[in-house]
Amino acid sequence: MKAINKMTQGELAAYIDTHLRKNGISVVLSGGASVAVYSDHLYVSKDLDFVAQFTLNQSRVNDAMQELGFEKKGKYYRHQLTEYFVEFVPGPPSVGKDPIERIDELEMSTGILRVISPTDCVKDRLAAYYHWGDRQGLKQAVLVAKTNEIDMGSVESWSQREGKQAEFGEFKQLSKKMSQ
């Protein structure tokens, strides 16, 4: 097994996710770490956001993370051999008002990673742009759209339900420019 300090963010996420599932804990990777995975680490985030698929038993999570050498510090789990930190977010996994449409399973040398789909990753990043004006979220959504196949129709209909048609137009235009 690869040493923790040699793991990419995606490999570390797969290592943690696989261990958690062995302990009966079901989570899905989301947030900036999913952008890192889908952009082949062109984007780098320092945190791993795992969203609970169901409810989380905090003491089981603590025990499982301690088995991997992570210590809880505030709301994050940290390991002395990596710069990445881990956070667990209450579920169920959703983007805006909609549930996550699809969860992908990616096989890595360190285990199997359950992560929101590229389309849902785009929606997740656009949600930050739509609701908080986060231009970085917009750039991340464009990066994922550029490097992955996404369902643009699904993103558009979700954007309409969020009341963000104009902002979707900007995303679509930027995505087209990036693919040319």
DSSP letter string, 20-82: HHHTT--EEEEHHHHHHHHTTTSS--SEEEEEESS---HHHHHHHHHHTT-EEETTEEE-TT-
**pLDDT for the residue 75:** 93
- Say which residue, 90 or 14, is predicted with more confidence: 14
pLDDT in tens, 138-149: 999 999 999 999
**pLDDT for the residue 178:** 60
Beta strands 94-95 and 98-99: pairing type?
Answer: antiparallel
**pLDDT for the residue 179:** 55
Q: Is 6's pLDDT higher than 90? A: yes
